[in-house]
């Protein structure tokens, strides 16, 4: 019983067409664009831009966004090819199963579960903070005991739990409703971002861009601490300090996480009307639109306020306050709430689809692969996801757990990039509506770029990631390896009977 057994593309597509597990194909290219933009534009554009500019890159943060955009673009090309070849739910998990084998597919699926659940939980807490502030601004304050987790001054974060459960209902009712809600909210936050760019451009002072790339500052020898608090790359090559060319790269590693989300588009392949055409449009289109917006926002932001004044949790609001437009701060808050709402929704969507695919394959209990008879959504795994997110969000304060989403995403990018090379060699006969150009150069560059960015994460993140992966290995060898439908030679009909 080989742990490297591969599930063929044909079998994956056949399973997706089984009546008991078939999802409704209702998504269009515009819906996929909305999902991608909705997932990408969130905390990153409202927070990370200012932090990276102040601590790493200065006004050159716009160049950092270009560097990160190129790295993401390389990975996005690989995702687009896979999504056009294997139009099945599960994203990187499904792609890995079809190219790298069951064991690595389990690893990436387990990894994605961590990314999506922890990501949705932490963003729910962030949403709660903005929501509470908005209520306070109109005189509707809530008691701290109901708006903060234990350890953060409260008993539970009720708004965070409520938003997670409300969005769970939206996801259960149907992917079409989810996409419609996403499109409306995306339109709101895009309007806010465009307003910031256009209105703020009139207040840009080019003197604030000088120097555009601040001189390199070597590390301060007096600042010492645990090696686990530093990026892993520092332990390999030594600390490089900040600003200068190395600062641009460090800034790129930080703002890279503002791009996280385009990969979730691939999880909706099985619910897309014309996946071979629309998936590449959704993946590459959303990434291109957000890259342009990020560069413009960073240029306007650092043009309004000197970069060393932007190390705040709300750099857009700081910029509007600097030009004497406090009324515009409310618009930024509206955009932040809208942005975070879609991020929560889409992260839970991605988790439900990955869990659904793993359950349908028998690596998780088949019970969770049951599709709702009316809405044709994987309602059981969706409800479980929503409850877990609500519990974590209500009881956990925002801290370094958020970084766990980053390492999981990068690891997925690495495996998908390698998978394209493997699939080109093992299944050159498969029709490819979209093909990665310059193979093997592009996939190799994508894998190396993502691996390098992984090395820029701190030691604690790697340690926690290792513990989570060790737990996943235990579950695989104790349960999943023996319950695998592929390993047991079971048909999709057998799984349907077990799910009932």
Summarised one tens digit per residue, pLDDT across range 420-435 is 898 899 888 888 878 8
* Any domain includes 226: no
Asked whether residue 162 carries a pLDDT value surpassing 50, the answer given is yes
Average pLDDT, the chain: 82
* pLDDT, average across residues 439-460: 87
> Which one of 19-28, 330-339, 422-431, 468-477 scores highest in mean pLDDT?
468-477
Burial class of residue 470, CB neighbours in 10 A (0-12, 13-18, 19+)? exposed
Q: What is the dihedral of CA 202, 208, 214, 218, to 10 degrees?
A: -120
> 228 or 337, which is more confident?
337
Asked whether residue 207 carries a pLDDT value surpassing 90, the answer given is yes
Quote the pLDDT of residue 42. 72
* Any domain includes 201: yes
Give the Å distances, CA to CA, from 268 to 71, 236, 336, 377: 23, 39, 25, 12
Q: What is the DSSP letter of 214?
A: P
Quote the pLDDT of residue 239. 60
pLDDT confidence bin for 400, thresholds 50/70/90: very low
d(CA 209, CA 361): 54
Quote the pLDDT of residue 303. 94
* pLDDT, average across residues 400-408: 63
* Any domain includes 232: no
> 97 or 234, which is more confident?
97
Least confident of 91-95, 226-230, 387-391, 480-484: 226-230
> Which one of 180-184, 223-227, 342-346, 419-423 scores highest in mean pLDDT?
419-423
The tally of domains found in the chain comes to: 1
Q: What is the DSSP letter of 364?
A: S
> 94 or 182, which is more confident?
94
221-255 tens-digit pLDDT: 555 555 666 667 766 666 666 788 777 887 887 77
Two structure tokens written together for 308: 């060393």
* Any domain includes 301: yes
Task: Specify the CATH number for the domain of residue 330.
Answer: 1.20.1740.10
pLDDT confidence bin for 461, thresholds 50/70/90: confident
* b/e map 106-117, b = 16+ CB within 10 Å: bbbbbbbbbbbb
* Any domain includes 219: no
* Any domain includes 225: no
* Any domain includes 485: yes
Quote the pLDDT of residue 495. 65
Asked whether residue 22 carries a pLDDT value surpassing 80, the answer given is no
| Percentage of residues of the chain with pLDDT beyond 90 | 20
Asked whether residue 107 carries a pLDDT value surpassing 50, the answer given is yes
* pLDDT, average across residues 48-66: 85
Quote the pLDDT of residue 388. 94
* Any domain includes 319: yes
Q: Domain containing 336: what range? A: 9-211+238-498
Quote the pLDDT of residue 470. 94
Q: Decide if 443 contacts 418 (C-beta within 8 A).
A: yes
pTM, entire model: 0.80
> 388 or 279, which is more confident?
388
d(CA 118, CA 121): 5
């Amino acid at each position: 019983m080989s742990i490297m057994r591969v599930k063929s593309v044909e079998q994956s597509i056949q399973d997706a067409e089984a009546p008991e597990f078939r999802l409704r194909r209702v998504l269009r290219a515009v819906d996929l664009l909305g999902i991608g933009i909705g997932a990408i534009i969130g905390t990153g554009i409202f927070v990370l831009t200012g932090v990276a500019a102040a601590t790493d890159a200065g006004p050159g943060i716009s160049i950092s966004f270009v560097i990160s955009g190129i790295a993401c673009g390389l990975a996005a090309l690989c995702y687009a090819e896979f999504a056009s070849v294997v139009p099945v739910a599960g994203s990187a998990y499904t792609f890995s199963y079809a190219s790298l084998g069951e064991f690595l597919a389990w690893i990436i699926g387990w990894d994605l579960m961590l990314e999506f659940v922890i990501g949705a939980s932490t963003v729910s807490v962030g949403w709660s903070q903005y929501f509470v502030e908005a209520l306070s601004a109109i005189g509707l304050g809530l008691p701290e005991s109901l708006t903060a987790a234990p350890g953060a001054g409260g008993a539970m974060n009720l708004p965070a739990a409520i938003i997670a459960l409300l969005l769970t209902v939206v996801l259960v009712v149907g992917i079409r409703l989810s996409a419609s809600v996403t499109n409306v909210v995306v339109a709101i936050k895009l309007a806010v971002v465009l307003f910031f760019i256009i209105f703020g451009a009139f207040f840009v002072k080019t003197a604030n861009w000088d120097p555009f790339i601040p001189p390199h500052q070597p590390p301060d020898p007096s600042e010492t601490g645990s090696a686990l608090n530093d990026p892993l790359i520092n332990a390999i090559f030594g600390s490089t300090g900040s600003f200068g060319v190395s600062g641009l790269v460090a800034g790129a590693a930080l703002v890279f996480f503002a791009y996280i989300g385009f990969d979730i588009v691939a999880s909706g392949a099985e619910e897309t009307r014309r996946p071979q055409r629309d998936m590449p449009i959704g993946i590459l289109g959303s990434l291109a639109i957000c890259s342009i917006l990020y560069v413009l926002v960073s240029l306007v932001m650092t043009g309004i306020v000197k970069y060393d004044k932007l190390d705040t949790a709300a750099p857009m609001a700081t910029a509007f306050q600097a030009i004497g437009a406090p009324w515009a701060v409310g618009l930024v808050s509206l955009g932040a709430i809208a942005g975070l709402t879609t991020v929560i929704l889409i992260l839970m969507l991605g988790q439900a689809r990955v869990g659904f695919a793993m359950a349908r394959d028998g690596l998780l209990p088949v019970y969770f692969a049951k599709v709702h008879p009316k809405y044709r959504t994987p309602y059981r795994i969706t409800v479980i996801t929503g409850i877990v997110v609500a519990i974590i969000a209500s009881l956990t304060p925002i801290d370094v757990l958020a970084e766990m989403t980053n390492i999981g995403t990068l690891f997925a990018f690495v495996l998908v990039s390698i998978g394209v090379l493997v699939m080109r060699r093992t299944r050159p006969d498969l029709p490819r509506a979209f093909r990665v150009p310059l193979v093997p150069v592009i996939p190799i560059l994508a894998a190396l770029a993502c691996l390098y960015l992984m090395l820029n994460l701190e030691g604690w993140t790697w340690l926690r990631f290792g513990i989570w992966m060790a737990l996943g290995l235990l579950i695989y060898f104790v349960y999943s390896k023996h319950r695998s439908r592929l390993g047991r030679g079971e048909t999709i009909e057998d799984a349907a009977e077990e799910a009932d």
